[in-house]
Amino acid sequence: MPTTEPDRVRIFDTTLRDGEQSPGISLNAAEKLEIAQQLARLGVDIIEAGFPISSPGDFEAVRGIAREVHGPVICALARAQAPDIERAWEAIRDSERPRIHTFISTSDIHIKHQLQSTREDVKGQARAAVAHARSLCEDVEFSPMDATRADVEYTAEVLQIALDEGATTINIPDTVGYTMPTEYAAFLTRLYELTPGLRDVTLSVHCHDDLGLAVANSFAGVQAGARQVECAINGIGERAGNAALEEIVMLLQVRGEAIGLHTNAVTTEIARTSRLVSRLTGYPVQPNKAIIGRNAFAHESGIHQDGVLKERTTYEIMDARTVGLATNQLVLGKHSGRHALKQALEELGYSIDGQALKTAFERFKDIADKKKQVTAMDLEALVTDELREELTDYELVSFQIEDSSGRPPHARVEVRLPDGDLATGSFTGDGPVDAMFHAVGAAIAVDARLREFRVDAVTGGQDALGEVSVVVELGAADSAVSSNLPGVATGERVTGAGQALATDIIEASGIAFLRAISMAQRKAKLGSDATASVAAP
Ligand SMILES: CC(=O)SCCNC(=O)CCNC(=O)[C@H](O)C(C)(C)COP(=O)(O)OP(=O)(O)OC[C@H]1O[C@@H](n2cnc3c(N)ncnc32)[C@H](O)[C@@H]1OP(=O)(O)O
Ligand SMILES: CC(C)C(=O)C(=O)O
Ligand SMILES: [Mg+2]
């Protein structure tokens, strides 16, 4: 137990050391520094910046962090060997608050097979290592590696040696993620009994997730008296990873009061830190990951949405804003109701009711039937599209596209004209969109020149809505179109812009093209050169 603030749990972040031991992760010095600076903003107490003896690059990275990151303790790992300890010290000595973390195994499996040594020799190595580290640095952490598979009495003897030599933090690693919460707590309690000096220093926990118990074991350790938790952002680390920092911090934020404990972490920096680590490590975060997964604050089902709309706490134990997210999310799908839709639209700034809501709801259901998920972006696009539709004089009633390798694509369309008549047109084009445009032009007897064409995926995923934007130019110089442009003198040009949304971009192209022509014709009729686009909601 630390002598100051005994109710505070120190957050020891090992993203840059154990986290980086995840297969496939290799961070360069600049990336490590960027993460370390963000960890400082997150308010972690200790940053384990790396293992300096492991490579010149890691040495430089740790040294850069030690020099440039202020606030947290900057820690470097070293085996219980003089060269490791000296290299670690060289890397962190410029830090305002350096710490050397040295370790050696106390389990017989490790002593016999890996170290090929004896219990007595390990005691000697531990003594020498801690003494050497303390001769260089005031802050020294000692870890008996694989402790949870070790003999507790022997581990206590080694810890007493480390304490005698001046270790200031004792960390008990569950190196292979083997222990269970009650067993781990009992192990720590027994260590307290066997090692009297342990109560005078900070006891730390370091748990791996091989059985999915890293956070539960860490929490059990805290309940047994540990006041430092070693953890990594997004739970990355050797094999199945370390305890996830964001889970430890939020567990103590949400439930800490019940046991009278807290951390100093700035929880609103969690989401940003998670995204940064994910981006720089290339390790994506699973959608259902606690705290930082994209579903962690999302509600899909109607009953939950209804509850959250009435009172957020019915289905949420945390406010998304406390972890740095803008808001929770009501994910609209085919089972969602009108209230959730209306609320979602209001959040987007569209206050609609009555017939407008009814129409939007029907269109929403159509889209929801085609898509797995209707997002806020879809909704915005749908409502905006609803407004645009009022400005359309033509309706694309149906279309067929024949497209196959070796033959140019052919389009056939049926368009309802402003007077209600149906007109058909067909065309063989260079591509399906080109064929669609020309077939539409043929159906309404307008020869429009395409000036701009753009397709944007409005939402993500294969079933995303595509937004097509087109700008067309009509000219009275062209005898074929003069009857459509009564207000335009020969030689003049008039442009029109249109946009449309659909999951099928060929369909969206046809509708946008018709809207652009409508706009050009309206402008021509008004004799106006207004540049207002049909797209503007
Ligand atoms: C549980 C953990 O996360 S421990 C940290 C694990 N992290 C890493 O290993 C990442 C960085 N490691 C490395 O870059 C390399 O392993 C190095 C540079 C440290 C060492 O490389 P090498 O000298 O080639 O040794 P190698 O890694 O093959 O073997 C490890 C050696 O360290 C010894 N060793 C392992 N742990 C310790 C320890 N805590 N104290 C002293 N010696 C140890 C092993 O017995 C073995 O010694 P041996 O060569 O006499 O058999
Ligand atoms: C170096 C030690 C603390 C470690 O990472 C482990 O035992 O898992
Ligand atoms: Mg580890």
Q: Is residue 422 within 8 Å of 414, Cβ to Cβ?
A: yes
CA distance 257 to 337: 37
Residue 31's pLDDT is 97
3-state secondary structure of 338: helix
| Binding-site positions for Mn(2+) | 18, 206, 208, 242
3-state secondary structure of 255: coil
CA distance 522 to 388: 14
CA distance 177 to 1: 24
Q: What is the mean pLDDT of each run of 10 residues along the chain (537 residues)?
A: 85 98 96 98 98 98 98 98 98 98 98 98 98 98 98 98 98 98 98 96 98 98 98 98 98 94 98 97 96 92 87 96 90 80 76 82 83 67 59 86 90 93 94 94 90 78 78 65 52 75 90 86 60 31
What is the whole-number distance in angstroms between the Cα of residue 535 and the centre of ligand 3? Answer: 56
CA distance 506 to 496: 19
AA identity, residue 151: D
Residue 232's pLDDT is 98
Overall pTM > 0.80: no
Q: Any alpha helices (H) in 333-431, and if so which ranges?
A: 338-347, 354-370, 376-389
AA identity, residue 39: L
Sign, CA torsion 482/486/491/497 = negative
CA distance 332 to 340: 8
What Cα–Cα distance (Å) separates residue 372 from each residue in 375, 420, 465, 519? 10, 35, 12, 34
Q: Is the C-beta atom of 150 inside 6 A of ligand 2?
A: no
What is the whole-number distance in angstroms between the Cα of residue 316 and the centre of ligand 1? Answer: 45
Q: Is the C-beta atom of 145 inside 6 A of ligand 2?
A: yes
Strand order in 407-416's β-sheet? Answer: 395-404, 407-416, 422-428
Residue 174's pLDDT is 98
What is the whole-number distance in angstroms between the Cα of residue 366 and the centre of ligand 3? Answer: 51
Residue in 496, 491, 494 with CA at minimum distance from that of residue 477: 491
Residue 331's pLDDT is 82
Core vs surface per residue 397-427: b (16+ CB within 10 A) or e = eebebeeeeeeebbbbbbbbeeeeeebebbb
What is the whole-number distance in angstroms between the Cα of residue 242 and the centre of ligand 3? Answer: 7
Residue 389's pLDDT is 53
Q: Any alpha helices (H) in 168-324, and if so which ranges?
A: 181-194, 214-223, 245-254, 256-259, 270-281, 302-310
Q: Is 449 left (phi over 0), alpha (psi -120 to 50) or beta?
A: beta
Residue 482's pLDDT is 45
AA identity, residue 91: A
Residue 154's pLDDT is 98
Residue ranges of domains in the chain, CATH in brackets: 10-281 (3.20.20.70), 298-386 (no CATH), 391-526 (3.30.160.270)
Atom of ligand 2 nearest to the CA of 208: 8
Residue 384's pLDDT is 64
ipTM for the predicted complex: 0.98
Residue 392's pLDDT is 67
Name every protein residue with a CB atom under 6 angstroms from any ligand 1 atom: 18, 21, 51, 53-54, 79-81, 103-104, 114-115, 145, 175, 238
Structure tokens at 61: 């990275």
Q: Which of 145, 170, 184 has the most ligand 2 atoms within 8 A of CB, as the residue to mutate?
A: 145
Atom of ligand 1 nearest to the CA of 145: 1
Structure tokens at 41: 């903003």
